[in-house]
Amino acid sequence: MNIAVYPGTFDPFTNGHKDLVQRASSNIFDKVYICVAENSKKDTLFSLSERIHLAEKSLHEIKNIEVIGFSGLLVDFAEKLNAKVILRGLRVVSDFEYEFQMSSMNKKLNNNIESIFLTPSESYAFLSSSLVKEIAELGGDISKFVNPEVRAALEKKYK
């Protein structure tokens, strides 16, 4: 079975994330694990359990995926899931430098796991969780960028 992990903090999960998961799960991989990082170095708006729940709600119609939380080294977690690929999205050139560095380090830590990068669909190339949170905090309309449940959760956080 061709298995990939798609890691991130997903704070919150956006339609750009969903687009990448849909394309990866329908055209490339038999199974995709969306691995929600507990990352203590990032100050997240939503708790780990909230981020998992919102990702699950956003992806409920996709059958060959599973949303799961994790902490620790990604390559170790991927190996436990029998994944041979780390899937990452690249929106802009500045993403590439960081992702290339992470990919190289992951390869040094586990030579059996490859990194694959997908670019977003054109309509999501500008989209980031940070921008969505900023727009929501300022009372803007984020309905085009996130699942309705994510929108409601953001509105509740910022009220």
| Contact in structure between 35 and 5 (CB atoms under 8 Å) | yes
User: What is the pLDDT at residue 155?
Assistant: 95
* Catalytic residue (one of 51, 84, 129, 151): 129
Using CA atoms, how far residue 31 sits from 68, 94, 131, 146, in Å, is 13, 29, 29, 23
| Whole-structure pTM value | 0.94
The phi, psi pair for 36, rounded to 5°, reads: -85, 115
CATH of 3-158, one of 3.30.530.20, 3.40.50.720, 3.40.50.1000, 3.40.50.620: 3.40.50.620
Tokens of 115: 């990194």
User: What is the pLDDT at residue 40?
Assistant: 67
User: What is the pLDDT at residue 62?
Assistant: 97
CB atoms within 10 A of CB 35: 25
Residue for token pair 């009220």: 159
| Contact in structure between 31 and 66 (CB atoms under 8 Å) | yes
User: What is the pLDDT at residue 73?
Assistant: 94
* Catalytic residue (one of 40, 41, 42, 156): 42
Q: Is 159 a catalytic residue?
A: no
Give, for all 159 residues of the chain, the pLDDT tens digit. 899 999 999 999 999 999 999 999 998 999 999 999 997 677 899 999 999 999 999 999 999 999 999 999 999 999 999 999 999 998 877 778 888 999 999 999 999 999 999 998 999 988 999 999 999 999 999 999 999 999 999 999 998
DSSP annotation string for 4-54: EEEEE--TT--HHHHHHHHHHHHHT-SEEEEEEE--TTS--SS-HHHHHHH
Q: Is 58 a catalytic residue?
A: no
| Contact in structure between 123 and 16 (CB atoms under 8 Å) | no
Residue for token pair 């709600």: 57
* Catalytic residue (one of 91, 107, 115, 128): 91
Q: Is 42 a catalytic residue?
A: yes
